[in-house]
Amino acid sequence: MTELVLPDSDEHRRATHLLWCRAGIGTLLLVVAAYFYFQPLASLQRTVMLAVAFAFLLFSFLQWFMLKSSLPLPKQLGFHFLADLMLVSGLVFATGGVESPFGFVYALIIVAAGSQATVLLILATSVAASASYLCAVYLHLWALAKSILPSDTLAILLQVSAFLLVGGIMAAVATRQERLQKDRRRAIRQHANLQELHGKILGTMQEGVLILDHELLIQESNLAARQMLADGSNIQGEALPDLIKVPVRLKRYFEQPRKVSCQCEYHKDVQTCMLSAVQLKRDDDLSVWLLSIVDISELRKLELELAEQDKLAALGRMAAMLAHEIRNPLQTIGQAVELMPKGKKPHEKEVRDIVLEEAGRLDRLLSDILDYTRPLQPNPQDNNMPGLIESAARQVDMDGAHGIRWQCDLPALKLDADHFRLLLDNLLRNAVKASPEPDSITVHLQPAGKQSWRLEVTDSGAGIPDDIQQHLFEPFVASQPGGWGLGLATVWQVCLANDWRIRFDSSAKGTRFTIVGRRARAELASEKPLSTTQAA
């Protein structure tokens, strides 16, 4: 493919310099030839010399304009060297043929062609120089009607051989130079590709990378490091201590590195980062540091959550063991109180009722503890949802004093019925405690889009206090008087085990809990909503 010569390219600049050099040398040759040879020359030779001078000026202007054109550079140089050969041939013809002192200029032209590192151009120029020299010599002998002498033949042969030898040497040099240039271009291209790849890798890394000099000035950084340290702004040339408070351990490592690398944590607001420094040696014995920054905030958060879960698991195992051990004597106490003869005195009856009530309360507390500590393994099955909701409402409101209102717009769902009942029972018990007035609690199960269902449990109580809302689903957070704080924690565990989402909205007019879960594909057929049903 032909490469165009750009005005600002290196090849164009070299060709321009070569043109000026050739023009200067050509002008010097014409001045020397005119000074020493113009007067004694014959009329024909004077005419040829004047023509040579005129042609030299004309070709110089043409070469200058050709450099401004879009003609490929090898073709331009071929025209330039051909014009030079014609001019030198005219000088050789006019100044003595074989005896002309300007024969060496052919060799200069071949050397000038060799400076372009184009083998074909060099060989073509050397052959053209030999042919031009032969033409100039023989035309000179013919014009003066001279016969060629054996000494002239030897001189011509030596001259032509010298031209071809110079061309061969320059071609060999050009071949090696061209190979070196190809290797250089390949190395530059590979270096550019590696730099581009290096930039892409640094740009896409989630870990921050900094290159620091011996004074801890930032020489290079990637986007992640700039975002961690300076919100994405340029930090080139900034000192690391001006951006962060360098940990003492890392500062000591910079001052006296005794290990291959150093790692330490760095805390900034709520962010926790791991700093890793590695020393890189240079030829001038000055240290260069590679500092990587990794955001481990999520890791530390997960570690705390795992530790909390381990603590809760141990607490749960202990609570389950105690619950089993306490329930047996508690049931024995309740049965013994039931079998005791009923006293006729009012205080005896009051004491008996208190014992039975507190025993029942402790039994419910133990049941909640066992529910909270029991591992939850969902077992989805097809269920009659109106029946589940109605049974939960009757279980919580056996005497119908609270008048729980419920509505179910989905006849069937595939889910774990025990988990759904556990969730709904706890929400309804909390709602009854918060809003004991009749007809103040509603339950609504309805579709949520095309692939989900939504359960809403609403009461009309005074709302959840602000200081409890952030810890509402934690164990032993009592949101209502008389509660022990395991109901909503159990609800949270049920939602996590079944991949349900839960949220709540609370105000002075009441609280609404919303649970959203995904439906099975087989349930996505069109279904008719059911009518609102009042619990008996």
Q: Where are the domains of the chain?
A: 10-188, 208-295, 301-373, 381-534
Q: Give the model's pLDDT for residue 63.
A: 64
Q: For the domain 208-295, what is the CATH code?
A: 3.30.450.20
Ranked by mean pLDDT, the top range of 221-225, 354-358, 484-488 is 221-225
Please choose, from the candidates 300, 299, 296, the residue with its C-alpha nearest in 3D space to the C-alpha of residue 275. 296
Distance CA 383, CA 375 (A): 22
pLDDT score for 345: 67
- Report the distance separating Cα 517 and Cα 15, nearest Å: 78
Residues 421, 445 contacting (CB under 8 angstroms): no
pLDDT at 271: 83
Say whether pLDDT at 483 is over 90: no
Per-residue model confidence (pLDDT) at position 456:
95
Q: Poorest-confidence range of 141-150, 228-237, 346-355?
A: 346-355
pTM across the whole model: 0.43
The yes-or-no verdict on residue 282 having pLDDT over 60 is yes
Contact at 8 Å (CB) between 46 and 88? no
Among left, alpha and beta (phi > 0; psi -120 to 50; other), residue 251 is: alpha
| Per-residue confidence band for 368, with pLDDT thresholds at 50, 70 and 90 | low
Mean pLDDT of the 12-32 span:
68
Model pLDDT, residue 4? 34
Instruction: Read off the pLDDT of residues 78-88 as tens digits, 9 standing for 90 and up.
Output: 667 777 787 77
User: Which residues, in sequence order, are CB contacts of 319 under 8 Å at separation 6+?
Assistant: 369, 372, 373
How far apart, in Å, are the Cα atoms of 263 and each of 177, 207, 266, 277?
50, 14, 10, 7
SS3 290: strand
Q: Any idea which residue has 């010399």 for tokens? A: 49
pLDDT value of residue 325: 74
Mean pLDDT of the chain: 79
DSSP state at residue 444: E
Which burial class, exposed, middle or buried, applies to 515 when counting CB atoms under 10 A from its CB (0-12, 13-18, 19+)? buried
CA 65 to CA 60: how far, in whole Å?
Answer: 9
**Torsional sign, CA 50, 53, 57, 63:** positive
Which tokens go with 260?
């291959």
Q: What is the CATH number of domain 301-373?
A: 1.10.287
Mean of the pLDDT values across residues 491-510?
Answer: 90
What one-character-per-residue DSSP string does 226-253 give?
Answer: HHHHHTT---TT-BHHHHS---HHHHHH
| Rounded average pLDDT over 266-273 | 83
Q: At what angle do helices 385-396 and 417-434 cross, to 10 degrees?
A: 40
- pLDDT of 452: 92
Closest CA relative to residue 369, chosen from 487, 197, 459: 487
Q: Picking from 116-120, 395-399, 413-417, which range would have the lowest pLDDT averaged per residue? A: 116-120
Mean pLDDT, to the nearest integer, of 228-242?
87
Residues 6+ apart with CB under 8 A from 249: 262, 264
Mean per-residue pLDDT, 155-181:
87
Instruction: Express each pLDDT in 29-80 by its tens digit.
Output: 667 766 666 555 556 666 766 676 667 667 666 666 666 666 666 666 766 7
300 pLDDT tier (thresholds 50, 70, 90)? confident
17's tokens: 């310099």
Of the candidate ranges 147-161, 351-365, 377-391, 398-412, the one whose mean pLDDT is the lowest: 351-365
pLDDT class of 287 with cuts at 50, 70, 90? confident
What tokens appear for 437 in the block? 């007035």
Highest mean pLDDT among 102-111, 161-170, 396-405: 161-170
Tokens of 384: 């009659």
Token digits of residue 114: 């060799």
Contact 388, 417 (CB under 8 A): yes
For range 93-111, the mean pLDDT = 80
Assigned superfamily of 381-534:
Histidine kinase-like ATPase, C-terminal domain (3.30.565.10)
Q: Hey, what are 416's tokens?
A: 């774990």
Q: Residue 389: what pLDDT?
A: 93
> Whole-angstrom Cα distance, residue 105 to residue 125?
13
Q: Is the separation of the CB atoms in 434 and 511 below 8 Å?
A: yes
